[in-house]
């Protein structure tokens, strides 16, 4: 049975895609069939023919060496580097939950592990429209739809205690299970970052499962411990 995990972050540009690349790389190199999925990507460049390149998916594919076709990784791709709800308002093609679910379901039973990634932080609006009836999708709705536990990706530096604890508290109060925290931009021996790690674990009760240093090409967690964070995926009915 396919297993999955969801990566959310304490904000945008926190390093979720970088971490997703390292995670899928470790699983692929261990001999598993690994895959990646993201409902909506913003801030993408265009090819010579004018089509948009799903940049996050392209990064993960190149870093990890996974065999999954790029076209399977993201159903909604936008050019403007805005939240997906605003990018879609400007460019058209707003996110449809059924299409996201269909893209996800198509991956099941074909891969051993799927790493899903969110846009921005936990409160990122994916779709927010009032015309022709209200259509509202927040990132937490995507997590519920995919039925996944999450990992929180956070910057290791100043301010992370506040952002990690607020993110974790929001998710746990909304019955969104969190399996662990991953610190990005980690500097071993840095007294503040070491204290941040300790305080985040103490205040949330959630373990820091990996720390990613600048330029890392491998995740500092064993493949058995990593795979144990994933959960079997149930199909939506």
Is residue 135 in some structural domain? yes
Could you report the per-residue pLDDT of 72-92, keeping only the tens digit for each?
999 999 999 999 999 999 999
Is residue 237 in some structural domain? no
Q: What is the CATH number of the domain that holds 28?
A: 3.40.50.300
CA-based angle 32:37:40, to the nearest 5? 170
Q: Please give the pLDDT value at position 121.
A: 95
Sign of CA dihedral 196, 201, 202, 203: positive
Kindly report the average pLDDT of the chain as a whole number.
Answer: 95
Torsion angle, CA of 55/56/58/64, rounded to 10 degrees?
A: 160
Q: Is the pLDDT of residue 220 over 60?
A: yes
Tell me, rounded to whole angstroms, the distance of Cα 126 from its chain centroid: 14
CA distance 16 to 101: 21
Is residue 49 in some structural domain? yes
Q: Please give the pLDDT value at position 234.
A: 75
* DSSP track, 103-134: HHHTTTTT-SEEEEEEEEETT-EEEEE-TTS-
The tokens for 19 are: 């971490």
Instruction: Return the closest-CA partner of residue 75 out of 95, 53, 47, 46.
Output: 95
Is residue 157 in some structural domain? yes
Q: Is the pLDDT of residue 237 over 90?
A: no
CA distance 183 to 136: 31
Is residue 77 in some structural domain? yes
Q: Please give the pLDDT value at position 23.
A: 98
Could you report the per-residue pLDDT of 50-75, keeping only the tens digit for each?
899 999 999 999 999 999 999 999 99
Could you report the per-residue pLDDT of 193-213, keeping only the tens digit for each?
999 999 999 999 999 999 999
Q: Is the pLDDT of residue 134 over 60?
A: yes
Is residue 189 in some structural domain? yes
Q: Please give the pLDDT value at position 130.
A: 73
Residues whose CB falls within 8 Å of the CB of residue 70, separated by 6 or more in sequence, listed in order: 54, 57, 58, 61
Q: Which helix (H) or strand (E) holds 24?
A: helix 16-29
Q: What domain range includes position 40?
A: 3-232
Residues whose CB falls within 8 Å of the CB of residue 71, separated by 6 or more in sequence, listed in order: none
Q: How many domains does the chain have?
A: 1
- The answer to whether the CB of 72 falls within 8 A of the CB of 38 is no
Active site residue 16: no
pTM of the prediction? 0.95
CA distance 228 to 24: 14
CA distance 225 to 171: 23
Q: Which of 38, 61, 213, 237 is catalytic?
A: 38
Q: Give the CA radius of gyration of the chain.
A: 17
């Amino acid at each position: 049975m396919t297993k999955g995990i969801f990566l959310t972050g304490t904000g945008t540009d926190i390093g979720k895609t970088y971490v997703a690349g390292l995670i899928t790389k470790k699983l692929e190199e261990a001999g598993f069939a690994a895959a990646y999925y993201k409902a909506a990507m913003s801030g993408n460049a265009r090819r010579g023919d004018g089509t948009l390149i799903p940049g996050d998916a392209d990064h993960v594919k190149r870093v990890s060496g996974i065999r999954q076709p790029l076209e399977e990784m993201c159903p909604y791709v936008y050019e403007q580097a805005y939240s997906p709800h605003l990018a879609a308002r400007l460019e058209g093609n707003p996110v449809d939950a059924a299409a996201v679910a269909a893209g996800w379901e198509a991956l099941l039973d074909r891969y051993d592990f799927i790493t899903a990634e969110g846009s921005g932080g936990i409160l990122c609006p994916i779709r927010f429209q009032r015309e022709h009836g209200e259509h509202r999708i927040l990132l937490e709705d995507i997590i519920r739809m995919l039925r996944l536990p999450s990992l929180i990706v956070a910057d290791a530096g100043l301010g992370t205690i506040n952002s990690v604890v607020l993110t974790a508290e929001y998710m746990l109060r909304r019955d969104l299970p969190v399996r662990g925290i991953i610190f990005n931009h980690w500097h071993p021996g840095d007294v503040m970052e070491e204290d941040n790690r300790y305080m985040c674990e103490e205040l949330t009760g959630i373990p820091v499962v990996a720390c990613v240093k600048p330029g890392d090409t491998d995740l500092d967690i064993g493949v058995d411990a990593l795979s144990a964070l994933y959960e079997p995926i149930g199909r939506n009915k």
